[in-house]
Amino acid sequence: MSAINNYIKENKDRFIEELLDFLKIPSISADPQYAEDVKHASEYLAGRMKEAGIENVQIFPTKGHPIVYGDKMIDPSLPTVLVYGHYDVQPPDPIDLWESGPFEPVIKKTELHQQGAIFARGACDDKGQLYMHVKAFESMAQNNGLHCNMKFMIEGEEEVGSDNLEIFCRENRDLLQADVVLLSDTSIIANDVPSITVGLRGLSYVEVEVTGPNRDLHSGVYGGAVANPINVLCDMIASMKDDKGRITIPGFYDKVIDLTQEERDALNSAPFSLESYKKDLKIDDVMGEEGYSTLERTSTRPTLDVNGIWGGYIGEGAKTVLPSKAFAKISMRLVPDQHPDEITQIFVDHFKAIAPDGVKVEVRPHHGGFPAVTPTDTKEYMAAHKAMVDTFGKEPIPQRGGGSIPIVAMFEEVFGVKSVLMGFGLDSDDIHSPNEHFGLFNYFKGIETIPLFYKYYAELSNSN
Protein backbone atom coordinates (compact mmCIF):
# COMPACT_ATOMS: atom_id res chain seq x y z
CA MET A 1 0.00 0.00 0.00
CA SER A 2 2.89 2.37 0.49
CA ALA A 3 3.23 3.05 -3.25
CA ILE A 4 -0.39 4.19 -3.30
CA ASN A 5 0.08 6.29 -0.19
CA ASN A 6 3.18 7.92 -1.63
CA TYR A 7 1.33 8.69 -4.82
CA ILE A 8 -1.48 10.32 -2.81
CA LYS A 9 1.05 12.44 -0.90
CA GLU A 10 2.87 13.52 -4.04
CA ASN A 11 -0.35 14.56 -5.75
CA LYS A 12 -2.01 16.11 -2.72
CA ASP A 13 -2.20 19.66 -4.02
CA ARG A 14 -3.60 18.64 -7.39
CA PHE A 15 -6.22 16.42 -5.70
CA ILE A 16 -7.36 19.50 -3.78
CA GLU A 17 -7.27 21.85 -6.79
CA GLU A 18 -9.41 19.55 -8.92
CA LEU A 19 -12.02 19.30 -6.18
CA LEU A 20 -12.07 23.09 -5.80
CA ASP A 21 -12.77 23.47 -9.54
CA PHE A 22 -15.58 20.92 -9.28
CA LEU A 23 -17.06 22.87 -6.35
CA LYS A 24 -17.12 26.11 -8.33
CA ILE A 25 -19.88 24.74 -10.56
CA PRO A 26 -23.29 25.51 -9.00
CA SER A 27 -24.96 22.17 -9.75
CA ILE A 28 -28.19 22.90 -7.85
CA SER A 29 -30.61 20.19 -8.95
CA ALA A 30 -33.74 21.65 -7.36
CA ASP A 31 -33.69 24.92 -9.30
CA PRO A 32 -34.40 24.69 -13.06
CA GLN A 33 -32.40 27.91 -13.59
CA TYR A 34 -29.24 25.94 -12.85
CA ALA A 35 -29.89 23.10 -15.31
CA GLU A 36 -26.96 24.18 -17.52
CA ASP A 37 -24.62 24.26 -14.52
CA VAL A 38 -25.74 20.80 -13.49
CA LYS A 39 -24.92 19.62 -17.02
CA HIS A 40 -21.57 21.39 -16.85
CA ALA A 41 -20.77 19.60 -13.59
CA SER A 42 -21.56 16.24 -15.21
CA GLU A 43 -19.17 17.09 -18.06
CA TYR A 44 -16.45 18.25 -15.67
CA LEU A 45 -16.77 15.01 -13.71
CA ALA A 46 -16.79 12.83 -16.83
CA GLY A 47 -13.58 14.57 -17.98
CA ARG A 48 -11.81 13.97 -14.66
CA MET A 49 -13.01 10.34 -14.59
CA LYS A 50 -11.46 9.73 -18.02
CA GLU A 51 -8.21 11.38 -16.95
CA ALA A 52 -8.12 9.15 -13.89
CA GLY A 53 -8.14 6.12 -16.20
CA ILE A 54 -11.76 5.08 -15.86
CA GLU A 55 -13.01 3.55 -19.13
CA ASN A 56 -16.28 3.73 -21.08
CA VAL A 57 -17.12 7.05 -19.49
CA GLN A 58 -20.52 8.15 -20.74
CA ILE A 59 -23.01 10.83 -19.83
CA PHE A 60 -26.52 9.44 -19.95
CA PRO A 61 -29.21 12.08 -20.37
CA THR A 62 -32.43 11.52 -18.40
CA LYS A 63 -35.74 13.40 -18.24
CA GLY A 64 -34.05 15.35 -15.51
CA HIS A 65 -30.32 15.74 -14.92
CA PRO A 66 -27.71 13.45 -16.51
CA ILE A 67 -26.09 10.38 -14.98
CA VAL A 68 -22.34 9.88 -15.37
CA TYR A 69 -21.22 6.28 -15.88
CA GLY A 70 -17.78 4.74 -16.26
CA ASP A 71 -16.08 1.43 -15.54
CA LYS A 72 -12.87 -0.56 -15.42
CA MET A 73 -13.32 -4.28 -15.87
CA ILE A 74 -10.08 -6.09 -15.16
CA ASP A 75 -11.01 -9.75 -14.77
CA PRO A 76 -14.42 -11.47 -14.96
CA SER A 77 -13.45 -13.79 -12.11
CA LEU A 78 -13.06 -10.86 -9.72
CA PRO A 79 -15.94 -9.22 -7.87
CA THR A 80 -17.51 -6.05 -9.27
CA VAL A 81 -18.07 -2.98 -7.11
CA LEU A 82 -20.46 -0.24 -8.20
CA VAL A 83 -19.52 3.17 -6.81
CA TYR A 84 -22.46 5.50 -6.34
CA GLY A 85 -22.35 9.22 -5.63
CA HIS A 86 -24.17 12.43 -6.52
CA TYR A 87 -22.72 15.55 -8.08
CA ASP A 88 -25.82 17.69 -7.51
CA VAL A 89 -26.03 19.95 -4.48
CA GLN A 90 -28.64 21.61 -2.31
CA PRO A 91 -29.56 25.26 -2.91
CA PRO A 92 -27.16 27.47 -0.92
CA ASP A 93 -29.71 29.79 0.67
CA PRO A 94 -29.89 31.56 3.05
CA ILE A 95 -27.01 33.07 1.11
CA ASP A 96 -26.39 35.97 3.55
CA LEU A 97 -25.26 33.55 6.22
CA TRP A 98 -22.28 32.28 4.19
CA GLU A 99 -18.94 33.68 5.26
CA SER A 100 -17.60 33.15 1.75
CA GLY A 101 -19.40 32.45 -1.52
CA PRO A 102 -21.00 28.99 -1.65
CA PHE A 103 -19.41 28.40 -5.06
CA GLU A 104 -16.12 30.16 -4.30
CA PRO A 105 -14.38 27.44 -2.29
CA VAL A 106 -11.88 28.51 0.38
CA ILE A 107 -9.80 26.50 2.85
CA LYS A 108 -10.00 27.52 6.49
CA LYS A 109 -9.15 25.91 9.81
CA THR A 110 -11.92 25.16 12.28
CA GLU A 111 -11.98 23.82 15.81
CA LEU A 112 -12.66 20.30 14.55
CA HIS A 113 -10.59 20.60 11.39
CA GLN A 114 -7.14 21.72 12.49
CA GLN A 115 -5.66 20.70 9.13
CA GLY A 116 -8.15 22.92 7.33
CA ALA A 117 -11.50 22.35 5.65
CA ILE A 118 -12.85 23.26 2.24
CA PHE A 119 -15.85 25.57 2.53
CA ALA A 120 -18.34 25.35 -0.35
CA ARG A 121 -21.78 23.97 -1.11
CA GLY A 122 -21.29 20.28 -1.92
CA ALA A 123 -17.84 20.10 -0.29
CA CYS A 124 -19.02 17.20 1.88
CA ASP A 125 -22.41 16.37 0.32
CA ASP A 126 -21.45 14.86 -1.99
CA LYS A 127 -18.92 16.27 -4.48
CA GLY A 128 -15.98 16.01 -2.07
CA GLN A 129 -16.92 12.52 -0.96
CA LEU A 130 -17.56 11.20 -4.45
CA TYR A 131 -14.34 12.77 -5.73
CA MET A 132 -12.40 10.74 -3.14
CA HIS A 133 -13.43 7.70 -5.20
CA VAL A 134 -12.15 9.19 -8.44
CA LYS A 135 -8.80 10.02 -6.82
CA ALA A 136 -8.63 6.66 -5.05
CA PHE A 137 -9.17 5.01 -8.43
CA GLU A 138 -6.40 7.07 -10.01
CA SER A 139 -4.06 6.23 -7.15
CA MET A 140 -4.77 2.52 -7.46
CA ALA A 141 -4.58 2.47 -11.27
CA GLN A 142 -1.25 4.31 -11.32
CA ASN A 143 0.27 1.88 -8.86
CA ASN A 144 -0.88 -1.49 -10.09
CA GLY A 145 -3.35 -1.55 -7.26
CA LEU A 146 -6.68 -2.50 -8.83
CA HIS A 147 -8.19 -5.53 -7.11
CA CYS A 148 -11.80 -5.54 -8.29
CA ASN A 149 -13.84 -4.68 -11.36
CA MET A 150 -15.27 -1.26 -10.85
CA LYS A 151 -18.26 0.67 -12.14
CA PHE A 152 -19.15 4.26 -11.36
CA MET A 153 -22.66 5.66 -11.42
CA ILE A 154 -22.81 9.27 -10.33
CA GLU A 155 -26.17 11.00 -10.52
CA GLY A 156 -27.36 14.60 -10.56
CA GLU A 157 -30.71 14.24 -8.82
CA GLU A 158 -30.10 12.77 -5.38
CA GLU A 159 -31.11 15.95 -3.61
CA VAL A 160 -34.45 15.90 -5.42
CA GLY A 161 -35.33 12.26 -4.86
CA SER A 162 -33.48 10.24 -7.55
CA ASP A 163 -36.63 9.60 -9.59
CA ASN A 164 -34.85 9.25 -12.94
CA LEU A 165 -32.09 7.13 -11.46
CA GLU A 166 -34.57 4.39 -10.73
CA ILE A 167 -35.72 4.39 -14.38
CA PHE A 168 -32.09 4.36 -15.54
CA CYS A 169 -31.30 1.40 -13.28
CA ARG A 170 -34.28 -0.60 -14.46
CA GLU A 171 -33.37 0.08 -18.11
CA ASN A 172 -29.66 -0.75 -17.73
CA ARG A 173 -29.59 -3.87 -15.63
CA ASP A 174 -26.73 -5.50 -17.50
CA LEU A 175 -24.57 -2.41 -17.59
CA LEU A 176 -24.96 -1.93 -13.84
CA GLN A 177 -24.67 -5.55 -12.74
CA ALA A 178 -22.44 -5.64 -9.65
CA ASP A 179 -21.83 -7.58 -6.45
CA VAL A 180 -22.04 -4.64 -4.13
CA VAL A 181 -22.60 -0.86 -4.09
CA LEU A 182 -20.04 1.34 -2.37
CA LEU A 183 -20.88 4.92 -1.45
CA SER A 184 -19.50 7.75 0.63
CA ASP A 185 -22.39 10.08 1.38
CA THR A 186 -22.67 9.72 5.16
CA SER A 187 -20.60 10.63 8.19
CA ILE A 188 -18.23 9.24 10.79
CA ILE A 189 -18.76 10.01 14.48
CA ALA A 190 -15.54 12.04 14.82
CA ASN A 191 -12.13 12.18 13.20
CA ASP A 192 -10.82 9.87 15.89
CA VAL A 193 -14.03 7.80 16.15
CA PRO A 194 -14.61 6.03 12.84
CA SER A 195 -18.02 4.54 12.08
CA ILE A 196 -19.83 2.80 9.26
CA THR A 197 -23.43 3.67 8.52
CA VAL A 198 -25.69 0.63 8.70
CA GLY A 199 -29.08 2.23 8.26
CA LEU A 200 -30.79 5.18 6.65
CA ARG A 201 -34.21 6.64 7.20
CA GLY A 202 -36.80 6.84 4.46
CA LEU A 203 -38.67 9.95 3.47
CA SER A 204 -42.14 11.18 2.63
CA TYR A 205 -42.23 14.84 1.60
CA VAL A 206 -45.37 16.85 0.96
CA GLU A 207 -46.35 20.41 0.28
CA VAL A 208 -49.65 21.67 1.70
CA GLU A 209 -51.79 24.60 0.65
CA VAL A 210 -54.55 25.98 2.85
CA THR A 211 -57.03 28.42 1.31
CA GLY A 212 -59.41 30.55 3.33
CA PRO A 213 -61.34 33.46 1.77
CA ASN A 214 -61.00 33.99 -1.99
CA ARG A 215 -58.75 37.08 -1.55
CA ASP A 216 -56.60 38.85 1.01
CA LEU A 217 -58.84 40.85 3.35
CA HIS A 218 -58.55 43.76 5.78
CA SER A 219 -57.73 42.04 9.05
CA GLY A 220 -59.79 44.55 11.01
CA VAL A 221 -62.89 44.40 8.87
CA TYR A 222 -62.90 40.58 8.55
CA GLY A 223 -60.48 39.34 11.24
CA GLY A 224 -62.12 37.14 13.86
CA ALA A 225 -65.02 36.18 11.61
CA VAL A 226 -63.34 34.32 8.77
CA ALA A 227 -60.84 31.45 8.95
CA ASN A 228 -57.28 32.75 8.76
CA PRO A 229 -55.47 30.05 6.76
CA ILE A 230 -52.15 30.72 8.50
CA ASN A 231 -53.71 30.32 11.95
CA VAL A 232 -55.51 27.21 10.75
CA LEU A 233 -52.36 25.71 9.24
CA CYS A 234 -50.44 26.31 12.48
CA ASP A 235 -53.21 24.60 14.48
CA MET A 236 -53.28 21.68 12.08
CA ILE A 237 -49.51 21.24 12.23
CA ALA A 238 -49.47 21.53 16.02
CA SER A 239 -52.18 18.90 16.31
CA MET A 240 -50.08 16.36 14.44
CA LYS A 241 -47.88 15.83 17.53
CA ASP A 242 -49.06 15.11 21.05
CA ASP A 243 -47.49 16.29 24.30
CA LYS A 244 -45.14 13.29 24.28
CA GLY A 245 -43.77 14.25 20.87
CA ARG A 246 -45.55 11.39 19.16
CA ILE A 247 -47.10 11.82 15.75
CA THR A 248 -50.90 11.66 15.89
CA ILE A 249 -51.66 10.65 12.30
CA PRO A 250 -53.70 7.43 12.65
CA GLY A 251 -51.68 4.42 11.49
CA PHE A 252 -48.39 6.33 11.36
CA TYR A 253 -46.57 3.90 13.66
CA ASP A 254 -48.34 0.73 12.51
CA LYS A 255 -45.41 -0.66 10.54
CA VAL A 256 -42.59 0.68 12.68
CA ILE A 257 -40.35 -2.15 13.83
CA ASP A 258 -39.39 -1.54 17.43
CA LEU A 259 -35.82 -2.34 18.34
CA THR A 260 -35.13 -4.90 21.05
CA GLN A 261 -33.73 -3.58 24.32
CA GLU A 262 -30.42 -5.17 23.34
CA GLU A 263 -30.34 -3.32 20.04
CA ARG A 264 -31.27 -0.08 21.76
CA ASP A 265 -28.52 -0.54 24.34
CA ALA A 266 -25.96 -1.19 21.61
CA LEU A 267 -27.06 1.90 19.72
CA ASN A 268 -26.96 4.03 22.84
CA SER A 269 -23.49 2.83 23.77
CA ALA A 270 -21.96 4.71 20.82
CA PRO A 271 -19.83 7.65 21.94
CA PHE A 272 -22.06 10.71 22.07
CA SER A 273 -21.95 13.79 24.24
CA LEU A 274 -25.26 15.54 24.73
CA GLU A 275 -23.38 18.48 26.24
CA SER A 276 -21.23 19.05 23.15
CA TYR A 277 -24.25 18.49 20.94
CA LYS A 278 -26.15 21.27 22.72
CA LYS A 279 -23.11 23.50 22.82
CA ASP A 280 -22.47 23.12 19.10
CA LEU A 281 -26.07 24.08 18.31
CA LYS A 282 -26.23 26.78 21.01
CA ILE A 283 -29.39 25.31 22.50
CA ASP A 284 -30.20 24.91 26.19
CA ASP A 285 -32.00 21.63 25.76
CA VAL A 286 -32.95 19.05 23.17
CA MET A 287 -36.55 18.19 22.32
CA GLY A 288 -38.17 15.11 20.85
CA GLU A 289 -40.19 11.99 21.35
CA GLU A 290 -40.45 11.03 25.01
CA GLY A 291 -38.67 7.85 26.07
CA TYR A 292 -35.97 7.94 23.41
CA SER A 293 -32.40 9.22 23.42
CA THR A 294 -31.09 11.81 20.97
CA LEU A 295 -29.28 9.06 19.06
CA GLU A 296 -32.52 7.10 18.76
CA ARG A 297 -34.54 10.17 17.83
CA THR A 298 -32.18 10.82 14.94
CA SER A 299 -31.86 7.29 13.63
CA THR A 300 -34.42 4.66 14.59
CA ARG A 301 -37.51 6.79 15.23
CA PRO A 302 -39.71 8.40 12.57
CA THR A 303 -40.31 12.14 12.60
CA LEU A 304 -42.52 14.88 11.17
CA ASP A 305 -41.01 18.31 10.56
CA VAL A 306 -42.02 21.53 8.87
CA ASN A 307 -39.21 22.51 6.49
CA GLY A 308 -40.71 25.80 5.36
CA ILE A 309 -43.90 27.78 5.97
CA TRP A 310 -45.17 30.91 4.30
CA GLY A 311 -48.12 33.11 3.49
CA GLY A 312 -49.47 36.60 4.18
CA TYR A 313 -47.39 39.72 4.50
CA ILE A 314 -43.68 39.35 5.24
CA GLY A 315 -42.34 42.64 3.86
CA GLU A 316 -41.02 45.64 5.81
CA GLY A 317 -43.19 47.13 8.54
CA ALA A 318 -46.75 46.10 9.28
CA LYS A 319 -49.56 45.50 6.85
CA THR A 320 -52.89 44.54 8.32
CA VAL A 321 -54.08 41.70 6.20
CA LEU A 322 -55.97 38.48 6.61
CA PRO A 323 -54.32 36.29 3.99
CA SER A 324 -56.17 34.11 1.56
CA LYS A 325 -53.58 31.33 1.54
CA ALA A 326 -50.95 29.58 3.64
CA PHE A 327 -48.37 26.98 2.61
CA ALA A 328 -45.94 24.59 4.22
CA LYS A 329 -43.43 21.96 3.18
CA ILE A 330 -43.47 18.98 5.51
CA SER A 331 -41.09 16.03 5.69
CA MET A 332 -41.55 12.76 7.46
CA ARG A 333 -38.47 10.62 8.09
CA LEU A 334 -39.36 6.95 8.03
CA VAL A 335 -37.92 3.82 9.57
CA PRO A 336 -38.31 0.14 8.68
CA ASP A 337 -40.95 -1.05 7.64
CA GLN A 338 -42.77 2.20 6.89
CA HIS A 339 -43.65 2.59 3.20
CA PRO A 340 -43.24 6.12 1.80
CA ASP A 341 -46.34 5.95 -0.44
CA GLU A 342 -48.50 4.56 2.35
CA ILE A 343 -47.32 7.23 4.76
CA THR A 344 -47.94 9.95 2.18
CA GLN A 345 -51.46 8.59 1.65
CA ILE A 346 -52.34 8.50 5.36
CA PHE A 347 -50.92 12.02 5.70
CA VAL A 348 -53.16 13.25 2.86
CA ASP A 349 -56.24 11.58 4.35
CA HIS A 350 -55.50 12.88 7.83
CA PHE A 351 -54.69 16.41 6.72
CA LYS A 352 -57.98 16.63 4.83
CA ALA A 353 -59.89 15.11 7.73
CA ILE A 354 -58.66 17.63 10.29
CA ALA A 355 -59.21 20.72 8.10
CA PRO A 356 -62.03 22.91 9.47
CA ASP A 357 -64.92 23.77 7.17
CA GLY A 358 -63.77 27.37 6.74
CA VAL A 359 -60.78 26.35 4.60
CA LYS A 360 -59.95 24.16 1.64
CA VAL A 361 -56.75 22.15 1.64
CA GLU A 362 -54.58 20.62 -1.01
CA VAL A 363 -51.64 18.27 -0.47
CA ARG A 364 -49.01 17.82 -3.16
CA PRO A 365 -46.68 14.88 -2.60
CA HIS A 366 -43.03 15.37 -3.56
CA HIS A 367 -40.38 12.68 -3.69
CA GLY A 368 -40.07 9.84 -1.24
CA GLY A 369 -37.66 7.10 -0.37
CA PHE A 370 -37.58 3.83 1.52
CA PRO A 371 -35.68 3.34 4.76
CA ALA A 372 -32.80 0.87 4.62
CA VAL A 373 -30.79 -1.25 7.00
CA THR A 374 -27.54 -2.86 5.91
CA PRO A 375 -26.20 -5.99 7.60
CA THR A 376 -22.85 -6.16 9.40
CA ASP A 377 -22.13 -9.84 8.76
CA THR A 378 -21.24 -9.45 5.09
CA LYS A 379 -17.96 -9.43 3.17
CA GLU A 380 -18.48 -5.82 2.19
CA TYR A 381 -19.05 -4.69 5.76
CA MET A 382 -15.99 -6.64 6.91
CA ALA A 383 -13.89 -5.14 4.10
CA ALA A 384 -14.92 -1.60 5.06
CA HIS A 385 -14.29 -2.44 8.70
CA LYS A 386 -10.78 -3.75 8.03
CA ALA A 387 -9.92 -0.84 5.75
CA MET A 388 -10.91 1.64 8.47
CA VAL A 389 -9.02 -0.24 11.17
CA ASP A 390 -5.90 0.15 9.01
CA THR A 391 -6.26 3.87 8.36
CA PHE A 392 -7.81 5.06 11.64
CA GLY A 393 -6.07 2.58 13.89
CA LYS A 394 -9.42 1.92 15.57
CA GLU A 395 -12.42 -0.32 15.06
CA PRO A 396 -15.26 1.53 13.32
CA ILE A 397 -18.60 1.56 15.12
CA PRO A 398 -21.72 0.50 13.20
CA GLN A 399 -24.20 3.36 13.35
CA ARG A 400 -27.58 4.14 11.84
CA GLY A 401 -27.83 7.45 10.00
CA GLY A 402 -30.78 9.81 10.13
CA GLY A 403 -30.70 11.06 6.55
CA SER A 404 -32.01 9.38 3.43
CA ILE A 405 -30.37 8.11 0.25
CA PRO A 406 -33.11 6.67 -1.95
CA ILE A 407 -30.78 4.53 -4.06
CA VAL A 408 -29.84 2.22 -1.21
CA ALA A 409 -33.24 0.56 -0.78
CA MET A 410 -33.96 0.90 -4.48
CA PHE A 411 -30.80 -0.94 -5.51
CA GLU A 412 -31.57 -3.76 -3.18
CA GLU A 413 -35.09 -4.00 -4.58
CA VAL A 414 -34.16 -3.77 -8.27
CA PHE A 415 -30.90 -5.75 -8.23
CA GLY A 416 -30.91 -7.59 -4.92
CA VAL A 417 -27.56 -5.90 -4.28
CA LYS A 418 -26.55 -4.51 -0.90
CA SER A 419 -24.70 -1.28 -0.21
CA VAL A 420 -21.87 -0.38 2.07
CA LEU A 421 -22.06 3.16 3.41
CA MET A 422 -18.50 4.21 4.06
CA GLY A 423 -18.73 7.97 4.49
CA PHE A 424 -16.04 10.29 5.85
CA GLY A 425 -17.85 13.55 6.65
CA LEU A 426 -18.80 14.83 10.09
CA ASP A 427 -22.37 15.61 11.16
CA SER A 428 -21.11 19.08 12.07
CA ASP A 429 -19.88 19.76 8.50
CA ASP A 430 -23.06 21.75 7.87
CA ILE A 431 -24.36 19.84 4.88
CA HIS A 432 -27.53 21.56 3.55
CA SER A 433 -26.65 24.56 5.78
CA PRO A 434 -24.69 27.76 5.18
CA ASN A 435 -20.90 27.28 5.36
CA GLU A 436 -20.88 23.61 4.41
CA HIS A 437 -17.35 22.26 4.64
CA PHE A 438 -15.29 19.10 4.38
CA GLY A 439 -12.07 18.51 6.29
CA LEU A 440 -8.87 17.91 4.32
CA PHE A 441 -8.09 15.21 6.88
CA ASN A 442 -11.38 13.55 5.93
CA TYR A 443 -10.85 13.95 2.19
CA PHE A 444 -7.45 12.26 2.30
CA LYS A 445 -8.53 9.68 4.88
CA GLY A 446 -11.19 8.65 2.39
CA ILE A 447 -8.75 8.50 -0.52
CA GLU A 448 -6.43 6.29 1.57
CA THR A 449 -9.14 4.02 2.96
CA ILE A 450 -11.01 3.29 -0.29
CA PRO A 451 -8.15 1.30 -1.94
CA LEU A 452 -7.95 -0.89 1.16
CA PHE A 453 -11.66 -1.60 0.88
CA TYR A 454 -11.08 -3.10 -2.59
CA LYS A 455 -8.09 -5.06 -1.42
CA TYR A 456 -9.98 -6.66 1.47
CA TYR A 457 -13.18 -7.11 -0.51
CA ALA A 458 -11.29 -9.05 -3.20
CA GLU A 459 -9.51 -11.13 -0.54
CA LEU A 460 -12.72 -11.96 1.30
CA SER A 461 -14.53 -12.76 -1.95
CA ASN A 462 -11.76 -15.12 -2.91
CA SER A 463 -11.86 -17.04 0.34
CA ASN A 464 -15.31 -18.57 -0.21
Closer of 42 and 404 to ligand BES (Cβ): 404
Contact 80, 188 (CB under 8 A): no
Q: What is the closest distance, in whole angstroms, from the C-beta atom of residue 231 to Mn ion in the complex?
A: 33
The option from ligand BES, Mn ion, none interacting with 367 (CB < 5 to 8 A, set by class) reads: ligand BES
Residue 285 CB contacts under 8 Å (≥ 6 apart), including other chains:
278
The option from ligand BES, Mn ion, none interacting with 187 (CB < 5 to 8 A, set by class) reads: ligand BES
131-160: contacts with ligand BES (CB under 6 A)? 158-159
Asked if 88 is part of the footprint of ligand BES (rule: CB under 6 A), the reply reads no
Return the half-sphere exposure (C-beta side, CA atoms, 13 A cut-off) of residue 28: 15
Q: Which of 71, 185, 380, 429 binds Mn ion (CB under 5 A)?
A: 185
Asked if 161 is part of the footprint of ligand BES (rule: CB under 6 A), the reply reads yes
Provide the mask over 363-402, with x wherever binding to ligand BES is found by CB under 6 A and - wherever it is not.
Answer: ----x-x-------------------------------x-
Q: Which of 179, 185, 436, 448 binds ligand BES (CB under 6 A)?
A: 185
Stretch in the footprint of ligand BES (CB under 6 A) among 41-49, 182-190, 236-244, 453-461: 182-190
Closer of 186 and 300 to ligand BES (Cβ): 186
Q: What is the closest distance, in whole angstroms, from the C-beta atom of residue 200 to ligand BES in the complex?
A: 6
Asked if 299 is part of the footprint of ligand BES (rule: CB under 6 A), the reply reads no
The size of the interface with Mn ion (CB under 5 A), counted in residues, is: 3
Closer of 37 and 126 to Mn ion (Cβ): 126
Q: Which of 18, 37, 88, 126 binds Mn ion (CB under 5 A)?
A: 126
The option from Mn ion, ligand BES, none interacting with 404 (CB < 5 to 8 A, set by class) reads: ligand BES
Asked if 125 is part of the footprint of Mn ion (rule: CB under 5 A), the reply reads yes
326-365: contacts with Mn ion (CB under 5 A)? none
Q: Which of 405, 410, 440, 458 binds ligand BES (CB under 6 A)?
A: 405
Q: Which of 27, 187, 299, 344 binds ligand BES (CB under 6 A)?
A: 187
Q: What is the closest distance, in whole angstroms, from the C-beta atom of residue 422 to ligand BES in the complex?
A: 12
Residues that bind ligand BES (CB under 6 A): 125-126, 158-159, 161, 185-187, 200, 203, 367, 369, 401, 403-406
Residues that bind Mn ion (CB under 5 A): 125-126, 185
